[in-house]
Structure 1
Amino acid sequence: MTKVELRATWGLVAIFILRMLGIFMVLPVLTTYGMKLHNADQSLIGLAIGIYGLVQSICQIPIGMASDRLGYKLLIIVGLLIFTLGSIIAALTDSIWGIIFGRAVQGIGTITAAVMAMLSDLTMEQNRTKAMAVIGISFSLAFAIAIVLGPIITSTIGLSGLFWCITMLTMTSVIIALLTLPTSNRYKLNRESNIICSSIATILLNKQLLKLNFGIFCLHSILMFNFVVLPQNMMNMGFLPADQWKIYLIAVLISFFVVMPCIVYAEKKQSIKKIFICGVTILLCAQISLLAAGFNRLIFLIGIQLFFLSFYLMEGLLPSLISKVAPPSLKGTAMGFYSTSQFIGVACGGIIGGWLFSLPEGASLVFIASISIVLAWLFVSLTMSEPPYVTSIIISVPPNIIGIKQLITHQLLTEQAVKEVLIIPEENSAYLKVDTKYAKPALIDKLKKIVNNNVIPTDRCENSSIKDT
């Protein structure tokens, strides 16, 4: 990467990690420490957990579109300041309603779409995959750190102190944004990073994408279900809130060491569907274990470990599947709906989980509801097709290609390795999906020659890139 790319990438990654820490640190402590707030009960605790996802799911696509018009840096900074305001509101209150309002304000300050789009626009095509991979890793890393740090910080300085820490983290993000992100709004257009309104119907009618969106909805609903119940269940078994981070830390570390080889195996052996179904099955076993544990610590801890194993496995597989299944020019739109489904799951899991938890035998009801959701997900997963094992390739094309667009498309498709082709003359780009077995530099050179042999050579044809999906 160039110095500019490195600066932008690490700046955006730092902002993303600090923001995710602020979101996730609340999850493992709100159920226990939140009950000390005025007017608090289990249903309102669930609302406080889920309201962030509800508001963010509503705001995500509109704010993402606004960032395309007003500039990514401006929207990122404004979003961080709004998130800071919500954190201050939550830090100053001693009522559950104040926490709910503060979390709702935090949700308005969504920056995910702007961060992803800006990162895509500020990196060259051949480096974009690396940058996106770093973002994906940082998400998992932030989640792991947050669920360990949250209980430690809250046990030391209280829930209000935790929100003040989140405020400081977010203000640090604002400083990083001011110092590292470029001020120019004249970014290059990258079709894969933007939400295309005219193509929404294409995404909504794609059955495979719908099944994957349903999957991320289920996964994050169950994540919220568990964090509504698990902290209180740990207390009932004698695990003090100040010590619960140790259980999370062990479960997360084991999960990291187990999950990464599984994902590599799934890709290498082209067995993603098999591993995917195994992941959903493990999640089902986890929820059954947590329901059946009662006061048995061993079964309870096994359930927690199985849950984190399945969560990290599915969190790694689902974005990859979205990238493989989505049309080559509509990945941004597909990821927009994917992220929205994710946050709707957060909202539903928190709100419904809190309501169920407030009922008699509430913990059992929450786990029964999560088991029902996993069973539905497992049924849907069994109907999924094996994903195409393809790599996305973007080849720059000259502007004088309009008259022979169909000819070049046909010639590219005659190559056995090429599965899909979309040429956008206005963007000087050809978007291709190629079998991963054949995605070698020699193939890229051959595809470039097919284009160049039909048009007047220009300097625009000299650059091309591969993006692993």
Structure 2
Amino acid sequence: MLTKNPMTSVERRAVGALALLYSFRMLGLFMVLPLLALYAVDMPGGTPLMIGLALGAYGFSQALLQIPLGWLSDRIGRTPVILGGLLMFAAGSLVAGLAETVPGIVLGRLLQGAGAIAGTVMALVADVTDEEQRTKAMAIVGASIGLSFAVSLVLGPVVAGFGGLSSVFLLTFVLALGGIVVVFLGVPRGVVSREHAEVGTRPGMIRSVLATPALRRLNFGVFSLHFILTASFLVIPFALQDTLSLPREAHWKIYLPVLVASLVGMLPLLRLAERHGKIRPVLVGTVVMLLVSVAGMTLLAVPWVLCVALWLYFVAVNYLEATLPSLVSKAVFSGGKGTALGVYSTCQFIGAFTGGALGGLALQYGGVLGLFVLCLIPGLFWVRSSLGVTAASPVVAQGATSAS
């Protein structure tokens, strides 16, 4: 539905501030993704298993605390929870930045994840916007996440080139403090916290969400995506370094053009899925593309193959990150969107943690081939389950039945 009126100046300011806050936080989390494996391998305790735990540790505490902190924000207010989460995130960044061992980084990443305020920020977006502007506001914040991911892959190696991995964590600490400033300067005071259908977790609906087959498939999909994403970044940086003979501080020279090209590569997939109603085949094909690209990057030490595989990888990741939440919104029963998205986010973070932990274990004892086989397992199950994703209308009907 088209909105009748544009956002007010207060809404624009608040949504812009919250999008900036969200991007600061995600930028800090994403920047270490292409760097941690490369730099931590030279630190005490730098085994593949410990590096994998360091990569995925934030997902564990995120998954554990996301829903409880959202519930708490309904009771005591959004701003105290957000400020507390940012302080925790800043403390974790400082611990990781000052750590001299990989277990110290694991501790810092756990603390970073404990600042699990994603759901609370989205709830505050709903609090400060009129109902007819809410979808637009959510889209603005969502776009900031995708932009943060792209910027982090380029900015991280540049920052690390000046001061190593610790400089990236210390920049993350500064960004967290900057987020606190944004809250005080950009978010209106006196906003009343309330539960929304669009965000959070509504009491009594988790069982209905878990009982809806379409939502179960999508939750497994985002779990698998972040499992593969985190596990694969245990080896992608080394592939760039060894196959392309590219020093680690120069990896941005590959990430930047590949990311830009991947956005172009997404367009035919989006057009085919949305305009021509080919959601299921495009989804299945994109998951297969992701698995093929991981195989090309991990198993074949050929420069041109690596570059093509990296492009396919980011086409697949960007398409799936953009599409899966949309499918959740279409598949959910009436009044259950907030619960569905809360469960979806929790599955995402669980995937990041298990992908890092099990990926490190597989790499330590099975090498690169063992890591690829590990990624293949959830990927193939995802392909199989995605064959059940249908058009929006029957899925919604099925979800409404399970909720009644």
Category of TM-score, reference length = shorter chain: over 0.9
Q: Which of 262, 283, 293 is residue 276 of structure 1 equivalent to?
A: 283
Match of 1:255 in 2: 262
Distance 1:284 1:88 in 2: 35
Distance 1:276 1:387 in 2: 14
The higher relative CO (CA closer than 8 Å, separation ≥ 6) is in 2
**Is 1:241 aligned with 2:248?**
yes
**Which structure: larger Rg?**
1
Distance 1:92 1:321 in 2: 41
| CA deviation profile, 1:352-401 (whole Å, cap 9, x unmatched) | 111111125x112111211222111111111222223999xxxxxxxxxx
Q: Which of 302, 305, 308 is residue 302 of structure 1 equivalent to?
A: 308
Distance 1:272 1:66 in 2: 37
Number of equivalent positions:
393
Match of 1:387 in 2: 392
8 Å Cα contact 2:46/2:102 also seen in 1: yes
**Is 1:366 aligned with 2:371?**
yes
Name structure 2 gaps, 5 residues minimum.
Answer: 1-6
Letter in structure 2 aligned against 1:241: R
| CA deviation profile, 1:174-203 (whole Å, cap 9, x unmatched) | 000011112324245432323112111110
| CA deviation profile, 1:224-267 (whole Å, cap 9, x unmatched) | 11111111222222121012112111221111122145324422
Letter in structure 1 aligned against 2:197: R
Hey, which bits of structure 1, 4+ residues long, moved more than 3 A?
none
Match of 1:401 in 2: none
8 Å Cα contact 1:225/1:370 also seen in 2: yes
Higher strand share: 1
Match of 1:53 in 2: 59
The alignment-based identity, stated in percent, is 36
RMSD over equivalenced CA pairs, Å: 1.9
Distance 1:318 1:278 in 2: 14
Distance 2:286 2:237 in 1: 24
Letter in structure 2 aligned against 1:266: A
8 Å Cα contact 1:273/1:387 also seen in 2: no
Distance 1:169 1:382 in 2: 41
**Is 1:168 aligned with 2:168?**
no
Letter in structure 2 aligned against 1:104: L
Mapping 1:335-374, distance limit 5 Å: 335-360=341-366, 362-374=367-379
189 and 370 in structure 1: CA distance in 2 versus 1, 3 angstrom threshold: closer
**Is 1:193 aligned with 2:199?**
yes
**Is 1:287 aligned with 2:294?**
yes
Distance 1:300 1:57 in 2: 33
Match of 1:124 in 2: 130
Letter in structure 1 aligned against 2:352: V
Name structure 1 gaps, 5 residues minimum.
Answer: 392-418, 423-469
**Is 1:104 aligned with 2:110?**
yes
8 Å Cα contact 2:200/2:341 also seen in 1: no
Letter in structure 1 aligned against 2:349: F
8 Å Cα contact 1:81/1:171 also seen in 2: yes
Give how far 1:164 is off. 0.9
Distance 1:226 1:241 in 2: 17
8 Å Cα contact 2:97/2:167 also seen in 1: yes
Q: TM-score, normalised by structure 1?
A: 0.81
Match of 1:39 in 2: 45
Letter in structure 2 aligned against 1:248: Y
8 Å Cα contact 2:25/2:176 also seen in 1: yes
Distance 2:188 2:174 in 1: 23
8 Å Cα contact 2:239/2:297 also seen in 1: no
Distance 1:384 1:285 in 2: 21
Give how far 1:94 is off. 0.9
SS in 2 for 1:359: helix
Letter in structure 1 aligned against 2:378: I
Distance 1:195 1:146 in 2: 30
